Amino acid sequence: MSPLPTRDTRPIIIDTDPGQDDAIAILAALAAPELHVLGITAVAGNVPLELTARNALILVELAGRPDVPVFAGCDRPRRRELLTAEHVHGKTGIDGASLADATTALQPQHAVDWMIETLLAAGEREITICPVGPMTNVAAVLETAPETARHIREIVCMGGGFFNGGNTTPTAEFNVFVDPEAAQIVLHCGAPVTMLPLDVTHKALMTDAWITQVRELGSRTGAAAAGMLDFYERFDVDKYGTFGGPLHDPHVIAYLLRPDFYRGRHCNVEVETESPLTLGMTVVDWWSVTDRPANCQFITEVDSDGFYHLMMGLLSRLP
C-alpha cells in the first residue's frame, strides 16, 4: 500500500513520457520515503501516448507500487505535430528490459482533469509538479485553470539547455523542442520554476561500472534498470564520444531530495517559439543583460558522485 503522507513528506506529481531515463526517475521517486507520489501523468513524447502510459503502469508495478495511480494525458503538443525519439529509446520507449505488461489499468480520468482537481483541492503552494517530458499536460492545466498555479509549491523540470546547446537541434533540447509553447507557458505561470537542463545533466555521466553495480543489486528492479540503461547509454556514447551517457530525468528527483548537490542562478528564461532556426531554444539571461524579470532557477552544476550514490541507494530499496 502507498505510505500515508506526513508533514515530512513532499507531495509530488510526476509528468512523464517514459523513456529509460524517465523510468529511473519514476523508480527513484517511488523509493524515496521523503516523497509522496500522488500520481503519475503520462504525456506523448519519447514514444506515443499509448506507450508512455503503458510504460508508466509497468514501472509502478516493477517498483511494487501498483497503488500509485497512472493517468493518460495529451497525445500531441498543443500546437504542433508530435516528434518522438524511438531512435534513442527503442520502439517501446523502455527497450533493454524484458518486462511483462501491467496487470493494473489506467485511471479513467484524463490526466489534465485529475491534475486540476488535485491542485485545487490542495493548499496554497502545496504540490510539486515534476515534468520530465514535454510540458504539454502541465501547460494544459495552467491554460485551462490558471488559478491552479497558486497551489503549486514548485515546478521542477528536466528540459532546455543554453551553454551546452541542444540535443535535438543545435539549439534545442528534446523536451522543450517537442512543445516549445508549453514550456513557455510553464515558465510564465507565476509558480516557482526550477529547470535542470543539458548544461547540468551532461556533467554527470554514467559509467559501465555504475550500471554493473545496479545489475549486481540482485533484484528484479536492478536487473530491469541495468538492462534499460545498457540500451539507452549506447546512443549518447556513440553520439558524443564520451565514456558514458547522461542520465537526464532522475536529476529532478535528486534535486528534490538533495538540492545541496546543485548550483545555478535565478534568472530570466524564455523559449523561442517562432524562429525556424532556433525553435525550442531556451534563451537564458545568465548575465542579466536585459530587464526581463527572473522567472526560473536555472541549474548548471552538480555533484556527480553524490548524484549517482543517491540513485544507487534509492534503487537498492526496491524489490
- Could you identify the residue written with the cell 508530435? 82
Task: Give the Cα separation of 53 and 70 in Å (integer).
Answer: 7
Q: Which has the closest alpha carbon to 210: 199, 198, 222, 219?
A: 222
Task: Give the Cα separation of 198 and 200 in Å (integer).
Answer: 5
Sign for the pseudo-dihedral over CA of 118, 124, 130, 131: positive
Q: Is 248 annotated as catalytic?
A: yes
Say which of 248, 251, 266, 309 is annotated catalytic.
Answer: 248
The full DSSP string for the chain is -PPPP-TTSEEEEEEE---HHHHHHHHHHHH-TTEEEEEEEE-SSSS-HHHHHHHHHHHHHHTT-TTS-EEE--SS-SSS-----HHHH-SSSSTTS--PPPSS---SS-HHHHHHHHHHTSPTT-EEEEE-S-SHHHHHHHHH-GGGGGGEEEEEEE---STT--SSSSS--HHHHH-HHHHHHHHTSSS-EEEE-HHHHTTSB--HHHHHHHHTT-SHHHHHHHHHHHHHHHHHHHHH--SS-B--THHHHHHHH-GGGEEEEEEEEEE--S-TTTTT-EEEETT--S-PPP-EEEEEEE-HHHHHHHHHHHHTT--
Catalytic residues: 248
